[in-house]
Amino acid sequence: MVDYLKILNKLLLILNLVFGIFFFFFPYRTKWFFMFFIISIVPAIYFFYIIERLGLGEKYKFYAISAIWLNHFGELYFYDSWQYYDKVLHFFIPMLLAHIIFVYLRKNKFPNRFVAFLMVMGIEALFEIWEYIPHTFFGFQMLGVMSNGIMVMSPITDTIIDLFLGALGTFIFLYFILPIRNKKNEKEM
């Protein structure tokens, strides 16, 4: 049987590379190639490797590559046209991450939601640090929320709200959605 999800994951990973090459040759966005490569290609390959090593399967690779593509859609259009797109990502992407981490913990006989919550928040904090570095040292606008060239949310407020939304999304997934899914799966067995 053909594993369509595996094919889709490889296609999205290859398109990720094509997207990076496009940005490298795009006339007024050449500096974005550096950002794209570091933010997208390296973590995508790394996430695929880690998920493969953990033995979690193609569905979780799809979660990881989907999160990266949601960011690409933001870079192409949504970050500039809808000022709250970043907030939506900071709410939903930690849910995907919480699912991956919880499944890994459960697979290793340690299904602890609180530990999964702390792990997701640690990753979220590292991501916020990552946003700070290019913003501060390379001049990329990655902190604060801009609308029509006007800052409508300060960098510190943006960071705190991002962390809060990540915590909220993770909490909702681990303590509300996951138990409902587990009950549903138990009934089906």
Domain membership flag for residue 161: yes
- pLDDT of 189 reads 39
Domain membership flag for residue 96: yes
Domain membership flag for residue 42: no
- pLDDT of 187 reads 60
Segment 47-99, tens digit of pLDDT: 788 888 888 888 888 888 888 888 878 777 787 788 889 999 999 999 999 99
Q: What is the pTM of this model?
A: 0.82
Q: How many domains does the chain have?
A: 1
* Distance separating alpha carbons of residues 95 and 111, to the nearest angstrom: 16
Segment 114-163, tens digit of pLDDT: 999 999 999 999 989 888 887 788 777 778 887 777 888 888 999 999 99
Q: How confident is the model at residue 16 (pLDDT cuts 50, 70, 90)?
A: confident
Is residue 188 predicted with pLDDT exceeding 50? no
The residue that leads in pLDDT, 135 or 171, is 171
Range of the domain at 92: 82-188
Domain membership flag for residue 26: no
- CA 102-91-171 angle, 5° bins: 45
Domain membership flag for residue 1: no
Domain membership flag for residue 153: yes
Domain membership flag for residue 94: yes
